[in-house]
Amino acid sequence: MMKELISSRLKSIDALRGVASLAVVVYHASTALEVLPSDARWFRIVYAVPSHGHLGVALFFVISGFCIHLRWAKHYAQTGERRMDFSNFWKRRLFRLYPPYFVALCLTMGLVVVAYMVGVSVPLMGVYPEPRPQWMLADFVAHVFMLHGLHPTFDMAGGNGVYWTLAREEYFYIMYWGLLAARLLWGTNKSLVGVLTLGMVFPYLMSFVLPAESVWWPIVNKSAIVLWIQWYLGFMAVEAYCGLKKLPRWCYWGWLVPVWVAAAVLSEHHAPRLEPILWGLSFFTLLNYCVQLERSGRWPTHALFGWFSKVGVFSYSLYLVHNPVRGMVKYALGTIAVTNTQWRFWLTVTVLTVAGYYAGRIFFHLIERRFLTPKLTGASPVIFKNNPQMEVEAGS
């Protein structure tokens, strides 16, 4: 099953998915440990790599913009027809993504209920005010309808903090229709300016409404409006891939990626409003570079890249379940997970990472793969009229 999926998809996109998901898994495994075993500079430098794994989310958003817009861009490039079938779009999205999410949600909220009933003191219980049962029920309902991204108590709850990104994805899908209309009316460049402006202005406008200490600021700063630029850059990348737009040459320069990354790291402390944009540009350039390599037949054939592509196929499952599994394994380890030495620290990180990885594989084979039918994912090869050599599909 997995080999068939890989053969009909862009390997570069799946490899980037795999890297993004693994980065998030390692991030949660390394930052789950409350005490670092060393203050040595070399350790801090090494630790900085996994502790920035959360940036896999920004890479996911860029990839999402590429893949979600692919179907329309591909159809428009082949036929010149602008119409989008709204009902078919939502049918494919819901069938592909919602059932695995709902199963994972029921499992994680079940863990929340069990922890409450047996009186286990775990961080996931601390997000609920009293009376906790009522807040837990409201949390579950909010997550069922993907409304949790609109409330600070629920945004990082649901028994699994990573669900916040899935809410943003849902909002991106809703905003896609307005974006597509703007693209047809004004073109991609003016739409880019609009998305960029909205993302910059929105927090500024909210500063007139919210005090600096408000608990709503995380919702604002990680809102779909602020992060939309990352999704839109993927939108632009796929238009270039389909021959609908010509990007400047620098958009494909692989050596420029670390330059953008350095600028993004600096912006974390000196210009935080630019951080989403700069990380978006980092992964936009990386995606273009990788897709161009594959398009020109130069994608690496090393086994490591093949493995990343395979991980990319079940990256959604990996993303859904690794965090609660990490929590359960850490709890089961007990005092063993007290990382007061460096070797115990890295051993625990490895155990938590491996546990999350295999949990994702199991969840994929038991649940997610049932919703990967070619009819709904568009996994069959495609040939562009002006690019007959491009006989691959990015997948959903």
Q: What is the DSSP string of 161-174?
A: TTHHHHHHHHHHHH
Q: Given this model, what pLDDT does residue 72 score?
A: 93
Q: Residue 301 class from Cβ within 10 Å (0-12 exposed, 13-18 middle, 19+ buried)?
A: exposed
pLDDT digits (tens, 9 = 90+) for 12-27: 999 999 999 999 999 9
d(Cα 162, Cα 144) in Å, to the nearest integer?
A: 15
Q: Given this model, what pLDDT does residue 373 score?
A: 56
In the chain, the percentage of residues whose pLDDT exceeds 90 is 70
Tokens representing 83?
């119409």
pLDDT digits (tens, 9 = 90+) for 220-247: 999 999 999 999 999 999 999 999 999 9
- DSSP for 79-144 reads H------HHHHHHHHHHHHHHHHHHHHHHHHHHHHHHHHHT---GGGTT--SSHHHHHHHHHHHHH
Q: Given this model, what pLDDT does residue 334 score?
A: 82
Residue count of the chain: 396
Which of these, 166, 66, 67, 73, lies nearest to 377 by C-alpha position? 67
pLDDT at residue 377 greater than cutoff 50: no
- At 210, the amino acid letter reads L
Kindly state the average pLDDT of the residues 357-383.
72
The neighbouring-strand residues paired with 387 are 384
| Torsion 136-142-144-150 (CA) sign | negative
3-state secondary structure of 248: coil
pLDDT at residue 1 greater than cutoff 50: no
Contact status, residue 168 vs residue 224, Cβ threshold 8 Å: yes
Contacts of 295 (CB under 8 A, 6+ apart): 241, 389, 390
d(Cα 291, Cα 237) in Å, to the nearest integer?
A: 9
Does this model's pTM top 0.85? My answer is yes
- Say how many C-beta atoms besides its own lie within 10 A of residue 251's C-beta: 19
Contact status, residue 294 vs residue 1, Cβ threshold 8 Å: no
d(Cα 286, Cα 29) in Å, to the nearest integer?
A: 25
What are the Cα distances from residue 247, in Å, to 2, 138, 253, 355?
33, 46, 12, 41
What are the Cα distances from residue 200, in Å, to 281, 285, 328?
15, 21, 39
Q: Given this model, what pLDDT does residue 287 score?
A: 98
- Which uninterrupted H or E stretch holds 156? none
Contact status, residue 378 vs residue 393, Cβ threshold 8 Å: yes
pLDDT at residue 168 greater than cutoff 70: yes
Specify whether the backbone of 159 is left (phi greater than 0), alpha (psi in -120 to 50) or beta.
Answer: left
pLDDT at residue 69 greater than cutoff 90: yes
pLDDT at residue 92 greater than cutoff 70: yes
pLDDT-derived band at 368 (thresholds 50, 70, 90) equals: very high
- Say how many C-beta atoms besides its own lie within 10 A of residue 26's C-beta: 23
pLDDT digits (tens, 9 = 90+) for 310-355: 999 999 999 999 999 999 998 888 877 777 788 888 888 999 999 9
pLDDT-derived band at 62 (thresholds 50, 70, 90) equals: very high
d(Cα 259, Cα 6) in Å, to the nearest integer?
A: 31
d(Cα 21, Cα 375) in Å, to the nearest integer?
A: 25
d(Cα 366, Cα 6) in Å, to the nearest integer?
A: 19
Rounded to the nearest integer, the mean pLDDT of the chain is 88
Tokens representing 36?
């670092």
Peptide bond preceding 258 in cis form (omega within 30 of 0): no
